[in-house]
Structure formats: C-alpha cells, structure tokens
Structure 1
Amino acid sequence: MAVSNPQIVLFGDSIFQGTADVSSGFSLQAALQADVLRRLDVVNRGFSGYNTSNALSILPQVFAPPSPGGPELRYLKFILFGANDACVQLPTNFQHVPIDRYKENLTRIITHPIITAHKPKIFLVTPPPLDQIRVTVLDRANGHPAAARQTKRSAAYSETVRQVAAEHPGVTLIDLCKAIMDRAIEKTPGFDPTKGPALGDPEGGVRGYLEHLLPDGLHLSAESYRIFYDLIRPHVVAEWAGTRDEDRVGFVLPDWREAPWLDEDAHLKGKSL
C-alpha cells in the first residue's frame, strides 16, 4: 500500500487561495511546505468568494472520512473565513452571512463529524483587518453603490472568531487581524489607536501603513503573508524544531542514513552509496 503523508489543510476563502501565488516573490504555502517537506503535505483548499455557509455545503466534497491508506488530516485545519460573511447587504452583493449564523457555521465546521473523525489539531484564523477607505474607491469603480465591506463590521467578525476559539478547548486561535493591524500601527508615525477610529476607517480618514499591507483594502500583500507565515510556522514545526536531528526527525519515509536497503558499512560511516 502506498504511503500517504499526513496533511496540513488550509481551508478558507481567497486569503488562503492566495497563499499559492508566487508573483510577489513570496508564497506562504510554498514556504510552509518547505518547512515540513517529507513530513507533511500542505494542501490548499482556499475558495475565493466563499463564506462559511458555502464552506459547510462543500465540506463533504473537500474532505473524506479517515480510511486505510488515505491521508491523515493532522493539522486540519487552518480555517479562515469571514471576509465575505462580513459583506454589507447590497443589491450588487449576496455574500453576507449574519454574524450569529457566522458563529454557528464556524462551530459546525470545527465540529463536523468528518473533521472530528480525524482528531486533528484545529486552528481558527481571524479575518484580516479592512481598509475601508481603499475598498470604497474600488467597490464603487466596480459598480457597487457603496463599500461592500466596512471596517467596524469586519472587526466584529474577527472578534467572533476569537469567541469561538475560546469556547472550544483544543482549538488554537491565530489572530491574523491583530498581527496585521499591530504592524500597520507600528509603521504609521504619529497614529494613536486609542484616540480615534482604526486605520482604514473613513471616520478617521487615515490609511497609514495599511496601504502597504492591504493593497486593495482586503487582500494581503507579500509583507502581510510573511506576517501570517510567522504566526503559523511555530505551530507546525514544534514536533521536531530544536531536536538533535531536526533535519530528519519525523520523516514519513526514512532519511538515507537510516534507510534499511543501505549497505551496513556505508550506513555506519554516514556516507551515501
């Protein structure tokens, strides 16, 4: 029977779909795969435009129950939905999911029988912050009567993710929203978040460094994906990071120095044939 590597699954919307993009010179998915090569497979299941209701409807088509020879969903999953659920109800947009149902949907995803059967480590990711100032310009140019997303509403959906993670022991929170906003505040001279609206909020009128972190007001720049990567990486390399032989601990198939088919003398000397 063929050997299947355990999987890390990135299940979410366009934010996860974009982790495969290499055009900026950095791909979160590729960087993560390099870290876990020969130990785990990083599987991208990002679906641009999807909300949590869409995610629930396709979940049985995306994930199979455990089976002999099938992949083990060890780090199923990193879950990132919410940017689309938080959309404003407009005649030109139908992605909105009310926040109470959003919370219920997230709970149903992480407790779905197909998922729990794998007994995976589950990570809930907060949607990134929103630069409504930039989003408004682009949305109106694309035919919307107003911004399809709003800073305060998006922040409320991120807070809901924090609540769901806190209510489910064993679920780990990855606070992408906070990490990106912290970087934006740090890089925006003179901005005091305690004295007014958040960066990107039209009430304050200041985009600040969000301009570099969220180029279109919603999706991540390469710098933001690096921030995201730094949040994820420690969780998936913890099993072998810092061990004596971390360059080969946890391999699904053995390192050449430990392979059973090697000549015994070559094996003992640590030399390749």
Structure 2
Amino acid sequence: MAIPYPQVVLFGDSLFQGAAETSGGFSFQGALQTQLMRRFDVVNRGFSGYNTSNALKALPQIFAPWTDGGPQLKYLVILLGANDASLPRSIDNQHVPLPKFKENLRKIITHPNIASHKPKIFLVTPPPLDEIRMKVVDLANGYSDVSRLSKTSAAYSQAVRDLAAEYDNVTLIDLCKAIMDVAIAKTPGYEPTPGRPVLGDPEGGERGYLEQLLPDGLHMNPEAYQIFYGLLRPHFGSEWAGTNDEDKVGYLLPDWRTAPWLEEDIQTKASS
C-alpha cells in the first residue's frame, strides 16, 4: 500500500495562491515544503478572489472526510478576509459583512470534513491595507473610488484574533501586526502614537515602508512573504528539532543508507 503523506494545507484567497510564486526570489510555499520535505506534503488551495462565503461553499470539494489509508490533514492554515473586507458593490461584489465573515470562519474551522482529521488549525489575520496605494490602483482599473478601506480591513483582522482565541486547537498567526511592525521599523521618523493614523491611511497621508511590502496596496511582495514564513516556521519541526539525526527523523520513507531493502540489494549484488 502506498504511504499517504500527511498534509499541511494552505487554504485561502490570492494571498495563498501567490504563495507559490518564485519570480521575486522567494517562495513561501517552497520554503515551507523544503522545511517539511519527506515528512509532510504542503498543498496549496489558494483561490484568487475568494471570500469566506465562496470558501465555505467550495469546502466539501476541497476537503474530503478522513478515511483509513487516505492522507490526513495534520495542519490547516487559513488566510481569508482581504476580499470579505472590500466595500459592497453592485457588480462583482466580494464584500461579506463582518458578523457573517466571522460566522463563515467558524463554520470552516468546525466543518465535519475538517474536524474528522483533527488538525491543528492556524488562523491568519489578513495583511494591513495600504489604502493610499489601493486607491491609485482602483482608479487605474476603472473604479470610481477605492474598493477597500484600511480601517475596515483592520476590523476584519481583529475578528480573526477574536475567533482564534475561542478554540483550543486554533493558533493565531498575526500577519497584520507583523507586517505593520516591520513597516513602522523601516519608516524613518514614524512613531505610532494614540490617535495617529497608521501607515497607508489617507488621513495620515504616509505610506512609509508599507509601499515596499504591499506593492499594489493589498498583495504581498517576497519580503512580506518572508515575514509570514518567519511567523509560521517555528510551529513545525519540533519532532525532529535538536536531534542528532535531524535530517532523517520523521521521514516517511527511511534514508537510503538505512533502508531495509539496502541489505537485500547488497546481498543480491554479492551473489551475482
């Protein structure tokens, strides 16, 4: 019987679809798969444009219930909300009201198809929004005004924090805070103080280093993906970290030097 490798699934929107990209010199998915090579399969289920309502409807087509002999979903990383937080539109509407967004996320993490695998779940806050840049992009794409607001996006990130705190099997990955912290640290002269608009907010008029991390105001560049990977990386590998044989511990198939069939090959060659 073939060995079913346990899975780490990246489930979300274009921010995960883009995690496989290599053109900028860093691939989030590639880095994670390299870390977990021969122990887990990293599966990308990122769907550009999806909101939580789309993701919930599609979930049964993406995740099958666990069965003997099938691959087990060991870790589920969910990054949704950037599209839910967009402003309502009469056509091509991606907006999901905040209470519905939170309800959808709750249904996703407790869905029977997911629960049957008993995975460890990571809920990721969407990145901050550079609304200043977003408006320029939206107007260039033919919209009459900006499609997203930084304050609204921040509220959806807070909803993810609140929901993650309700479940023992859910770990929060606060990508929004991590990216903003780096942007602040790399913006000379910017000091966050109570009442001061955040970077990317038109009220403050300052983008700072956020313009480097979010080139179109919404999607992450390779440096931002590296920040993301830095948050997630410590949560994997405790089984083999610190061992004398860390290149092999946890392998689903043994190292070639210690494989049980190696001795058979040696004996076959010796007798031929």
Q: Give the TM-score, by structure 2 length.
A: 0.95
1:86 corresponds to: 85
| Alpha-carbon shift at residue 257 of structure 1 (Å) | 2.7
**Alpha-carbon distance in structure 2 between the residues aligned to 1:226 and 1:21:** 12
Q: Which residue of 1 aligns with 2:120?
A: 121
Partner of 2:47: 47
Aligned to 2:136: 137
Displacement over 6 Å in runs of 4+ = none
Aligned to 1:7: 7
How many Å separate the matches in 2 of 1:54 and 1:83?
13
In structure 2, what is the Cα distance between the partners aligned to 1:124 and 1:49?
18
Q: Deviations over 1:198-230 (max 9, x none)?
A: 000000000000011000000001100000011
1:115-194 equivalence runs, <5 A: 115-194=114-193
1:260 and 2:260 are equivalent in the alignment: yes
Give the Cα separation in 2 of the matches to 1:35 and 1:98.
37
Q: Would the aligned equivalents of 1:92 and 1:144 in 2 still touch at CA under 8 Å? A: no
Cα shift at 1:92 = 4.6
Q: Secondary structure at the match of 2:172?
A: strand
Q: Deviations over 1:27-69 (max 9, x none)?
A: 0101111111100000000000000000000000001111222
Q: CA deviation at 1:90?
A: 2.6
Tell me if 1:251 matches 2:251.
Answer: yes
Over 3 Å counting, the alpha-carbon distance change for 1:41 and 1:71 in structure 2 is same
Q: Assess if the C-alpha contact under 8 Å between 1:20 and 1:30 holds in 2.
A: yes
Task: Report the equivalent of 1:271.
Answer: none
Question: Which one-letter code corresponds to 1:31 in the other structure?
Answer: A
CA deviation after TM superposition for structure 1 residue 194, in Å = 1.0
For 2:237 and 2:16, how far apart are their aligned partners in 1?
A: 19
Query: Quick one: distance in 1 between partners of 2:91 and 2:150?
Result: 19
Measure, in 2, the Cα distance between the counterparts of 1:64 and 1:91: 34
Q: CA RMSD, aligned part only? A: 1.5
How many equivalent pairs are there? 266
Secondary structure of residue in 2 paired with 1:263 = helix
Structure 1 unaligned regions, length at least 5: 267-273
Q: What's the CA shift for 1:261?
A: 1.3
Which residue number corresponds to residue 269 of structure 2? none
CA distance in structure 2 between the aligned counterparts of 1:192 and 1:27, rounded to whole angstroms: 31
Show the counterpart of 1:62. Answer: 62
Letter in 2 for 1:158: S
Q: Which amino acid is 1:209 matched to?
A: Y
Where 1:261 maps in the other structure, the secondary structure is helix
Contact 1:7 1:40 in 2 (8 A): yes
Shift of 1:263: 2.3
Q: Which residue of 2 aligns with 1:97?
A: 96
Q: How does 1:7-46 map to 2 (within 5 A)?
A: 7-46=7-46
The CA distance in 2 between the partners of 1:117 and 1:68, in whole Å, is: 11
**Cα distance between partner residues in 1 of 2:67 and 2:92:** 40
Distance 2:50 2:238 in 1: 31
**Can you give the 5+ residue segments of structure 2 that lack an aligned partner in the other structure?**
267-272
Inter-partner Cα distance in structure 1 for 2:176 and 2:159: 12
Q: Percent identity?
A: 66
**1:135–1:217 Cα contact (<8 Å) kept:** yes
User: Which residue identity lines up with residue 258 of structure 1 in the other structure?
Assistant: T
Deviations 1:166-202 (A, max 9, x none): 0111200000000000000000011111151000000
